[in-house]
Amino acid sequence: MLQAISMKPQIAIFSAGGNTSLEWAPRFAEAGTFVVDNSSAWRMDPGKKLVVPEINADVLTPEDKIIANPNCSTIQMVVALNLLHKKYKLNRLVVSTYQSVTGTGVKAVSQLEGERNGTEHTKAYPYVIDKNCIPQCDVFTDNGYTKEEMKLVNETRKIFGDDTIRLTATAVRVPVVGGHSESVNAEFEHEFEMNDVMQILNTTPGAILYDDILNLKYPMALYANGKDEVFVGRVRRDESQPKTLNMWVVADNLRKGAATNAVQIAQYLLDKGFVK
């Protein structure tokens, strides 16, 4: 890393954990390097921008040397909701996530594969994950929610620049490799027509509307695996209360949920001429 700093790279993408980012990102930034950080270290720092390029890349300036990449589950949800929020104004979100073991890392993948194959494996979770769902992603906080659930709350508000959005989340680990799925219930301030909603989703940057229930077509983790886009389906009005929408949102958590988003931020810096 010392050699890298002496060479003064123009952009550095960090994905080595929060402690590493806290130690090294300021050093790279001081040397004039733009740091796009994929850890949680800087996300809620009020002096750092939290960026999903399709939504808020325009907040970036040449002075923003440390840029935070949001959490994977947050990214896919806000991409899907972005234009709907702009038109109808989100009041409240209820989200349940069904998250791939790849979000935990290679140790979790090894556990799942070992349990399925009956082979020796490391243990990433306190319980069996194969043929099971574990209602815990990350550690619990004092309010009874996990850190993953609170990331959804806090990061969504910061990305949209709106602290009035009420949001509650339940994050669940499922025996899937290659994508996170989310059930999203969105209540808006203004009434909507379903035809307009579908048209908006069909033109939302970074999202693909995949919704054809007559032919049993809807997003699934298997479908999103290895792709960069966010897929949206099962879009329908919540008939239990007004101005509320249900949708199913799926994305590859290692692509748009992490690497793709970071690279898109770097590309934006290049396109804007911040990096020569």
Say if residue 6's pLDDT is above 60.
no
Say if residue 1's pLDDT is above 80.
no
Q: What Rg, from alpha-carbon coordinates, does the chain have?
A: 19
Residue 92 burial by Cβ neighbours in a 10 Å radius (0-12, 13-18, 19+)? middle
pLDDT the model gives residue 7 = 67
Task: Return phi, psi of residue 208, to 5°.
Answer: -125, 120
Residues of the chain with CATH 3.40.50.720: 2-70+259-271
pLDDT the model gives residue 8 = 83
Alpha helices (runs of H) in the chain, residue ranges in sequence order: 2-7, 18-30, 53-56, 72-88, 106-117, 147-160, 194-202, 221-224, 260-271
What percent of the chain shows pLDDT beyond 90?
96
Buried/exposed 44-53: b ≥16 CB within 10 Å, e otherwise = eeeebbbbbb
* Residue 38, token pair as written in the block: 């994929």
Model pTM?
0.95
Q: Is 72 designated active site?
A: yes
**Other beta carbons within 10 Å of 37:** 27
- Where residue 160 falls (left for φ over 0; alpha for ψ -120 to 50; beta otherwise) is alpha
Say if residue 108's pLDDT is above 80.
yes
> Which pLDDT band holds residue 4 (cuts at 50, 70, 90)?
very low
The three-class DSSP label of residue 207 is strand
Say if residue 182's pLDDT is above 50.
yes
Backbone CA torsion sign across 14, 16, 21, 27: negative
Residue 7 burial by Cβ neighbours in a 10 Å radius (0-12, 13-18, 19+)? exposed
Residues of the chain with CATH 3.30.360.10: 72-253
Any residues with CB less than 8 A from the CB of 147 and at least 6 apart, and which? 40, 138, 139, 140, 141
Contact yes or no for 35/67 (Cβ under 8 A):
yes
User: Which of the residues 72, 85, 121, 190 is marked catalytic?
Assistant: 72
pLDDT the model gives residue 178 = 87
How large is the average pLDDT for residues 26-52? 97
- pLDDT, one tens digit per residue, over 219-267 is 999 999 999 999 999 999 999 999 999 999 999 999 999 999 999 999 9
* Domain covering 2-70+259-271 in this structure, CATH number: 3.40.50.720
Distance separating alpha carbons of residues 96 and 183, to the nearest angstrom:
5
What percent of the chain shows pLDDT beyond 70?
97
* Domain covering 72-253 in this structure, CATH number: 3.30.360.10
- pLDDT, one tens digit per residue, over 115-172 is 999 999 989 999 999 999 999 999 999 999 999 999 999 999 999 999 999 999 999 9
Using N-to-C axis directions, what is the helix angle for 194-202 and 72-88, rounded to 10°? 130
Query: DSSP letters of 98-111?
Result: EE-GGGT-HHHHHH
Distance separating alpha carbons of residues 113 and 151, to the nearest angstrom:
28
User: Which of the residues 85, 121, 137, 180 is marked catalytic?
Assistant: 180
How large is the average pLDDT for residues 191-218? 98
Contact yes or no for 178/226 (Cβ under 8 A):
yes
Average pLDDT over the chain, rounded to an integer:
96
* Residue 203, token pair as written in the block: 């033109």
* Residue 105, token pair as written in the block: 């890392």
